[in-house]
Amino acid sequence: MNNQASASPVVAGFDRVTVRYGKLVAADAVTLSVSRGCVYALLGRNGAGKSSLVRCLLGQQKPTAGRALLFGHDAWRTRRSAMQRVGVVPEEPDMPPAMTAAQVVAFCSRLYERWDGKAVAERLRRFDIPMQVPVERLSKGQKGQLTLALALGPEPDLLVLDDPTLGLDVVARKEFYEELVGDLADRGTTVFITTHDLAGVEGIAERVGMLRQGKLVLDEEMETLKARFRRIRFGRRPAAQPAAEDALGAMGALRVAGGEWGFVAVVERFGDEGYGRFASESGVVEPEARAMSLEEIFIAVCGEERGGES
């Protein structure tokens, strides 16, 4: 496993997990760990292997090789007991369409040894969920809110969110994350989330992993990640010096684009000393370094990947 936060017990993770479907490799020797109390965001384009890894973590699918781990044990072997401590919000809410919200809550409450009925009722009241309306008549946002309330009902030690805001409008996404942040503040729940909503998760994730074509190409703290990536705009004189190119390369330039109007470079090893050396080169005109959002970093790291099934 990686050496993330050794002082905190590992709640979930993957130990060299590989998932194959025939000749297709969906996940390729993925190793990562999620410490207690951490919010870990796993990002990747469609086809990168996110959903396959989630299924392995929940004990729904056996890896081709390696182990998915829940609370230090093989998730495939211990899923029956481990899932008592896990709340799940799937990409598509899976509830009997003819049952009312009240009936779904009553049914789920009997599945867990621990269930906070008062907290569930309060969440549904805040969400303004009509309790006597069949699930099939609820909006997508209401279904997502109901699913989150159910997932938090057993007071889980681990909350697994598989692209939970997919298809939700702006208001519903905002309410979803506000409720999640509130629970994190109250209980410090460990969260493992896969999502395409990078703007939404940027404000809550403490650690980020990025998958590219089944391989984990990045796994680090959010603050560290955002500190080392920069977008640098600059002009360049016709007789630019090779030293300027070397200084840019030393900062780990992932790509450089431009023309007569100027140039833009994305670097992954930004530092004040290296940037100062680059800015002082005679071939560089009016340089400007700008911090990048998580979405911009993701595009820089994974943008060349082609999509498919997740």
**pLDDT one-digit tens code per residue, 153-204:** 999 999 999 998 888 888 888 888 888 888 776 787 899 999 989 999 998 9
* Predicted confidence band of residue 135 (pLDDT cuts 50, 70, 90): very high
- How far is residue 302's CA from residue 213's CA, in Å, rounded to a whole number? 9
- How far is residue 184's CA from residue 176's CA, in Å, rounded to a whole number? 12
Q: How high is the pLDDT of residue 238?
A: 59
Query: What phi and psi, each to the nearest 5 degrees, are found at residue 239?
Result: -100, 55
Q: Which residue has the higher pLDDT, 60 or 182?
A: 60
pLDDT at residue 237 above 80? no
* Predicted confidence band of residue 221 (pLDDT cuts 50, 70, 90): very high
Burial of 112 (0-12, 13-18, 19+ CB in 10 A): middle
Token digits for 148? 């989150």
Determine the average pLDDT of the residues in 40-67.
95
pLDDT at residue 7 above 60? no
Q: Does the predicted model carry a pTM greater than 0.85?
A: yes
Structural element, H or E, at residue 117: helix 117-127
Which domains does the chain carry? 10-220 (3.40.50.300), 230-291 (3.30.70)
Structural element, H or E, at residue 246: helix 242-250
Q: Which of 161-165, 184-188, 266-270, 279-283 has the weakest average pLDDT?
A: 184-188
Residue at 164: amino acid letter: P
* Average pLDDT value for the chain: 90
Q: Which residue has the tokens 């008592």?
A: 84
Query: Helices then strands (H, E): number in the chain?
Result: 11, 14
Determine the average pLDDT of the residues in 135-151.
93
| Rg, the chain, Cα only | 22
